């Protein structure tokens, strides 16, 4: 009996050591490699190459501050450091809006994909907040780009999700399935949509007579496009 207890303690210690030494595993799926046409590849390369400093994409600065404060409070349980939260949220809002996505959709996706763990790694090798597969760097990026870098990860993730939405002609359910490598299976898209409509729901201009939550905003167009 004593030997059995000692063995259990040894196994528990080994497990703890493994978790401490290895990257944080994520239970996410993975995007599947598909050949791209030259035109699509060039378009995605231009999107990845953006170097502008991230900023909140609100016409009204006060509205942007309200959004940032609201989302920061919701994110606190995942990201305790306030400065880190504000940097993450500002970058999410910029990259999502630039890609024509609802920032709240991206927040829901990150919650499901990585639980806001910067260094999360899936069993398939997907990396970072948005669980981007490394093959994308070779396909549309530049050698040496670090998918654990905050800006790089979000730029790739938002660009890839926009690409899948374009392929699926705006069908969010199917685009999310492609993103997770689980096209045709309802579990992942439903989990993201629940997080999108629940935890991260936000009305930029809520009507005064609204008694309950509304449907999530539809994806916007890229900044500067009609």
Which active-site residues does the annotation give? 113
Question: What is the total residue count of the chain?
Answer: 226
Measured CA distances, 186 to 67, 112, 114 (Å): 30, 14, 19
Measured CA distances, 193 to 82, 152, 175, 217 (Å): 26, 24, 12, 12
Burial of 169 (0-12, 13-18, 19+ CB in 10 A): exposed
Q: Which two tokens stand for residue 196?
A: 């999108």
Q: Quick check: 104 and 217 in contact, CB under 8 A?
A: yes
DSSP string, 133-161: -THHHHHHS-TT--TTSHHHHHHHHHHHH
d(CA 58, CA 128): 26
What does DSSP assign to residue 126?
-
SS3 35: coil
Measured CA distances, 148 to 56, 138, 174 (Å): 22, 16, 26
């Amino acid at each position: 009996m004593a030997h059995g207890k000692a063995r259990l303690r040894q196994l528990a210690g080994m497990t703890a050591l493994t978790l401490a030494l290895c990257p944080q595993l994520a239970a996410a799926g993975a995007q599947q490699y598909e050949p791209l046409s030259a035109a699509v590849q060039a378009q995605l390369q231009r999107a990845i190459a953006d170097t502008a400093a991230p900023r909140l994409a609100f016409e009204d600065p006060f509205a942007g501050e309200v959004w940032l404060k609201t989302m920061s409070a919701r994110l606190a349980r995942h990201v305790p450091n306030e400065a880190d939260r504000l940097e993450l949220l500002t970058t999410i809002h910029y990259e999502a809006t630039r890609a024509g996505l609802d920032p709240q959709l991206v927040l829901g996706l990150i919650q499901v994909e990585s639980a806001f763990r910067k260094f999360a790694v899936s069993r398939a090798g997907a990396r970072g907040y948005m669980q981007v597969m490394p093959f994308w760097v070779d396909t549309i990026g530049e050698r040496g780009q670090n998918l654990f870098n905050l800006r790089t990860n979000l730029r790739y993730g938002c660009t890839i999700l926009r690409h899948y939405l374009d392929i699926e002609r705006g069908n969010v359910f199917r685009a999310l399935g492609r993103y997770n490598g689980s096209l045709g299976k309802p579990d992942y898209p439903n989990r993201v949509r629940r997080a999108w409509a629940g935890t991260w729901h936000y009305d930029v201009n809520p009507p005064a007579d609204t008694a309950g939550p509304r449907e999530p905003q539809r994806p916007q167009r890229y900044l500067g496009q009609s």
